[in-house]
Amino acid sequence: MSGRSVVKLDRNSGIATAEELGRRLEESFQNGAPTSIDASEVERVDTTTVQLLYSFMRSMGELGMDVSIVQPSESFIVGAQRLGFTELFKLEGSK
Amino acid sequence: MSRKVLVVDDSASIRQMLEFTLKRASFDVDSAPEPTSALTMADRATYDLVITDVNMPGMDGYAFVEQMRKKSSYRFTPILMLTTESSQDQKVKGKQAGATGWLVKPFNPEQLVATIEKVLNR
Amino acid sequence: MSIDLSQFHQVFFEESLEGLDVMESALLNLDTENCDSETINEIFRAAHSIKGGSGTFGFSTVAEFTHVIETLLDQIRAGDRRIEPAHVELFLKSVDCIRQMIKSLEAGDAVEMSDANDLKSKFQAILDGKELAAAAPVPASTAPTAPASVSDTDAGSSGGAKTWHIYFKPDGDVLKTGNEPSRMFRELEDMGVATVVVDTADLPGIGVIDPETCYLKWNITLVADVEKAQIEEVFEWVIDEAELRIEEVAQVAVTENPEQNGAKPSSVKQSKVEPSDIVQTTVQSPVAEVSVSPAPSQAISAPAAKEPAAQAAPAAKKAEKNKTEVSSIRVGIDKVDSLINMVGELVITQSMLGELSRDFDISKLPKLLEGLEQLSQNTRELQESVMRIRMLPISFTFSRFPRLVHDLSKTMGKKIELKLLGEQTELDKTVMEKIGDPMVHLVRNSLDHGIEMPEDRIKAGKSDTGLITLNAYHQGGNIVIQIIDDGKGLDKEKILRKAVEKGLVGESDKLSDEQICDLIFKPGFSTADQVTDISGRGVGMDVVRRNIQELNGSVEVESFTGKGSTFTIRLPLTLAILDGQLVSAGEHTYILPLISIIESIQTNMDMVHRVAGGCDVLRLRSEYVPIIRLYDIFNIKPESYNLEESLLVVVEGDNMKVALVVDDLLAQQQVVIKSLEENYKRVEGVSGATILGDGTVALILDISGLIKLAGVRKDEYKKVKQGGDEAA
Which element (helix H / strand E) includes C682? none
Chain B neighbors of C8, CB-CB under 8 A: 13, 16-17, 20
Catalytic residue among C219, C445, C478, C552: C445
Task: Report the SS3 class of residue C193.
Answer: strand
Q: What's the CATH number where B69 sits? A: 3.40.50.2300
Q: Give the lowest-confidence range in C30-44, C218-232, C512-526.
A: C512-526
Q: B108: which residues sit within 8 A by CB, 6+ positions away?
A: C285, C286, C289, C290, C293
Task: Kindly state whether B57 is in contact with chain A, defined as any CB-CB distance less than 8 angstroms.
Answer: no
Task: Report whether pLDDT(C40) > 60.
Answer: yes
- The average pLDDT across B83-96 equals 86
Where does the pLDDT of residue C147 fall: very low under 50, low under 70, confident under 90, or very high at 90 and above?
very low
Q: How far is CA B27 from CA A86, B9, B75, C145, C171, in A?
A: 33, 18, 21, 32, 32
Rounded-to-10 torsion of CA C201, C204, C209, C215: -10
At residue C315, the pLDDT reads 39
Q: Give residue C241's pLDDT.
A: 92
Residue B10 contacts C where some CB pair is shorter than 8 Å = yes
Residue C103 has pLDDT above 60, yes or no: yes
Instruction: With CB atoms and an 8 Å threshold, state whether A16 touches B122.
Output: no
Per residue in C232-262, pLDDT tens?
Answer: 999 999 999 999 999 998 754 444 444 444 3
pLDDT > 90 fraction of chain C, expressed in percent and rounded: 24
Query: Predicted confidence band at C635 (pLDDT cuts at 50, 70, 90)?
Result: confident
Q: How confident is the model at residue A57 (pLDDT cuts 50, 70, 90)?
A: very high
Cβ pair A28, A35 in contact under 8 A: yes
Q: Is B75's CB within 8 Å of A46's CB? A: no
Chain B positions touching C285 (Cβ under 8 A) are: 108, 111
pLDDT-derived band at C316 (thresholds 50, 70, 90) equals very low
C49 with B76: Cβ contact below 8 A: no
Q: Which candidate from C56, C138, C183 shows the least CB-CB separation from B106?
A: C56
C70 catalytic? Reply is yes
Determine the pLDDT at residue C529: 47
pLDDT tens track for B12-45:
989 999 999 999 899 999 999 999 999 999 999 9
**C-alpha distance from residue A41 to each of A89, A92, C113 (Å):** 17, 19, 63
What's the pTM? 0.57
CA separation for the pair B86, C51 (Å, rounded): 13
Cα-based angle B43, B45, B47 (whole degrees, multiple of 5): 100
Contact C202, C137 (CB under 8 A): no
Contacts of A45 in chain C (CB under 8 A): 182
CA–CA dist A61, A90 (Å, integer): 14
Half-sphere exposure of C12 (CA within 13 A, CB side): 28
DSSP single-letter state for residue C684: T
Lowest pLDDT segment from B58-62, C154-158, C491-495: C154-158
Query: Which of B48, B51, B105 is most worth mutating to test chain C (most C CB atoms within 10 A of its CB)?
Result: B105
For residue A44, the chain B residue with the least C-alpha distance is: B122
Q: Read off the pLDDT of each residue in A61-87 and give the average, rounded to a whole number.
A: 92
Q: Which residues of C touch A55 (CB under 8 A)?
A: 203-206, 209
pLDDT score at C613: 67
Task: Report the alpha-carbon distance of residue C578 to residue C550 in Å, rounded.
Answer: 12
Q: Report chain A residues whose CB lies below 8 A from the CB of B75.
A: 16
The mean pLDDT value for C57-81 works out to: 87
Nearest CA distance, B12 vs chain A (angstrom)? 33
Does C48 participate in catalysis according to the annotation?
yes
- pLDDT tops 70 at residue C722: no
Q: What is the pLDDT of residue C482?
A: 94
Query: Which residues on C lie below 8 Å from B118 (Cβ)?
Result: 183, 186-187
CA-to-CA distance for A91 and C233, rounded, in angstroms? 31
* Amino acid at the residue B118: K
Q: Give the chain A residue nearest C216 (alpha carbons).
A: A51
**Average pLDDT estimate for A51-67:** 93
Nearest in space to A39 (alpha carbons), one of A15, A82, A18, A8: A8
User: What's the pLDDT tens digit per position in C354-407?
Assistant: 888 888 888 888 989 888 988 988 888 887 788 778 888 898 899 889 988 998
Total domains in the fold of chain B: 1
Q: Is B1 on the interface with A (CB under 8 A)?
A: no
Domain positions in chain C are 5-129, 162-289, 333-389, 393-572, 577-727
Amino acid A36: pLDDT: 94
CATH code of the domain occupying C577-727 = 2.40.50.180
Q: Report long-range pairs for C34-38 (Cβ below 8 Å, ≥24 apart).
A: C35/C76, C35/C82, C35/C83, C37/C77
Count the alpha carbons within 13 Å of C560 in the hemisphere toward its beta carbon. Answer: 5
Q: Using the beta-carbon criterion (under 8 Å), do C206 and A59 form an inter-chain contact?
A: yes
Residue A19 reports pLDDT greater than 90: yes
For chain A, which chains pass the contact test of at least 3 CB pairs under 8 Å?
B, C
Chain A hits for C196, Cβ within 8 Å: 81-84
C314 secondary structure, DSSP code? H
pLDDT at C168: 96
Calculate what percentage of chain C has a pLDDT beyond 70: 79
- In the predicted structure, residue C527 carries a pLDDT above the cut 80: no
Supply angle C-alpha C545, C547, C551, rounded to 5.
110
- Report the distance separating Cα C53 and Cα C19, nearest Å: 12
Between C707 and C701, whose confidence is greater?
C701
Architecture of domain C393-572: 2-Layer Sandwich (3.30)
pLDDT value at C145 more than 60:
no
Q: Mean pLDDT across chain C, nearest whole number? A: 78
Q: What is the pLDDT of residue A95?
A: 44
Q: What is the DSSP string of C66-125?
A: HHHHHHHHHHHHTTSS---HHHHHHHHHHHHHHHHHHHHHHHTPPPP-HHHHHHHHHHHH
Q: How far is C176 from chain B (nearest CA, A)?
A: 6
Q: Which residue of B has its CA nearest to A47?
A: B122
Q: Binning pLDDT at 50, 70 and 90, where does residue C277 land? A: very low
Spatial distance between the Cα atoms of C144 and C474, rounded to a whole number of angstroms: 56
Predicted local distance difference test score (pLDDT) of residue C136: 41
Identity at B105, one-letter amino acid code: K
Q: Over range C136-159, report the average pLDDT.
A: 41
Q: Which residues of A touch C (CB under 8 A)?
A: 15, 18-19, 21-22, 25-26, 29, 45-48, 50-52, 54-56, 58-60, 62, 79, 81-85, 88
Instruction: Write down all domains in chain A, each with its CATH number in brackets.
Output: 5-82 (3.30.750.24)
Is C541 a residue whose pLDDT tops 80?
yes
Residue C210 to residue C101: CA distance in whole angstroms:
57
Task: Give the least confident one: A56-70, C244-258, C608-622.
Answer: C244-258
Residue C544 has pLDDT above 60, yes or no: yes
Question: Which candidate in B73, B76, B79 is best for mutational testing of the A interface (most A CBs within 10 A)?
Answer: B76
Q: For this complex, say whether ipTM is above 0.90.
A: yes
Query: Is residue C604 annotated as a catalytic residue, yes or no?
Result: no
Lowest mean pLDDT among A23-37, A59-73, B97-111, C610-624: C610-624
Q: Which of B32-36, C47-51, C165-169, C656-660 has the lowest mean pLDDT?
A: C656-660
Using the Cβ of C181 and the Cβ atoms of chain A, whether some distance falls under 8 Å is answered with yes
Which range of A16-30, C102-116, C511-525, C547-561 scores highest in mean pLDDT? It is A16-30
Q: Does the pLDDT value for residue C275 go beyond 50?
A: no
Backbone angles phi, psi at C88, to 5 degrees: -60, -45
Distance, first Cα to last Cα, chain C: 87
- What CATH code is assigned to C5-129? 1.20.120.160
| Residue B13 belongs to domain spanning | 4-121
Q: Does B106 touch chain A (CB under 8 A)?
A: no
Lowest mean pLDDT among C126-135, C267-276, C421-430, C494-503: C267-276
DSSP C605: G
**Of C25-29, C215-219, C440-444, C679-683, where does mean pLDDT reach its minimum?**
C679-683
- How far apart CA C220 and CA C169 sit, in angstroms, is 11
C283-301 average pLDDT score: 34
Q: Which range is least confidently modeled, B43-47, C323-327, C587-591, C621-625?
A: C323-327
Instruction: Kindly name the residue from C70, C233, C247, C452 that is annotated as catalytic.
Output: C70
C162 vs C244 pLDDT, higher one: C244
Whether pLDDT at C59 is above 60: yes
Contact C175 A25 (CB under 8 A): no
Interchain contact B109–C (C-beta under 8 A)? yes
